[in-house]
Amino acid sequence: MAKLDSSLKNMVLSLFFISLVMSAALAFVYSATKDPIAASAKAKEVNAIKEVLPDFNNDPLSEGKEIDGIIFYPAMQDGKAVGYAAKTFTDNGYSGRFDLMVGFLPDGKINNVVVLQQKETPGLGSNMTKPKFSNQFININITELKDQRLAVRKDGGTIDAISAATISSRAYCDAIQKAHDLLIKNFPPDKEIGEAQK
């Protein structure tokens, strides 16, 4: 086989064909993995909704409603509201954005919180996933707090911050507060969350 001349034209053609083959390979890998990745993400959300709310028998995922970037999933048991799961977020973490799933009961109390995704410092901010921190939020009704604000003790609140990770702790409170404020504003208590504001 004859060796190609090292001309600009031959180099450009070689690069073009290499790029074409690599693009086709990437497209194939993307199409082969797109559906499994989407199914995995959906399963993770469904499991998080189940973790943060009492038993329900509707399909909250299909009934989700997005408001200002936060998705609310209504949970029903035999047609009666048992709460809302809120997929919320904050951009104020030490390492940027992280996502939470928060379960609110019909009376407005927090039932549970699950971290969906975070990139906080391992051993510090990443401790937000541990029960010692997250269990503090269970049964809190934000509307009954001072100034109706969720905050760490350093800021006059009731939450013990993670040691050496106050920024992450504040961001966690921020994500839950945003979800709570939108829930109260957009789903009136007399229709959706029981007696939360009475």
Q: What is the pLDDT, as a whole number, of residue 30?
A: 78
Dihedral sign from CA coordinates of 57, 58, 59, 60 = negative
Q: Are strands 80-93 and 96-104 parallel, antiparallel or unpaired?
A: antiparallel
Amino acid identity of residue 41, one-letter, is A
Dihedral angle computed from the Cα positions of residues 81, 139, 115 and 163, in that order, rounded to the nearest 10 degrees? 170
Range picked from 10-14, 16-20, 76-80 for highest mean pLDDT: 76-80
Is it the case that residue 90 has pLDDT exceeding 90? yes
Q: What is the mean pLDDT of the chain?
A: 87
Q: How do the domains of the chain map onto residue ranges?
A: 51-186
How many CA atoms lie within 13 Å of 25's alpha carbon, on the beta-carbon side?
Answer: 6
pLDDT (tens digit, 9 = 90+) per residue, 20-41? 888 888 888 877 777 777 777 7
Amino acid letter for position 67: I
The 3-class secondary structure across the chain, one letter per residue, is CCCCCCCHHHHHHHHHHHHHHHHHHHHHHHHHHHHHHHHHHHHHHHHHHHHHCCCCCCCHHHHCEEECCEEEEEEEECCEEEEEEEEEEEEEECCEEEEEEEEECCCCCEEEEEEEECCCCCCCHHHHHCHHHHHHHCCCCHHHCHHHCCCEHHHCCCECCCCCCHHHHHHHHHHHHHHHHHHHHHCCCCCCCCCCCC
Predicted confidence at residue 189, as pLDDT, reads 60
Residue 190: is its pLDDT beyond 60?
Answer: no
Whole-model pTM: value is: 0.77
CA-based nearest residue to 48, from 98, 117, 132, 118: 117
Q: What are the φ and ψ backbone dihedral angles of 34, each rounded to 5 degrees? A: -60, -50
Q: What is the DSSP letter of 4?
A: P
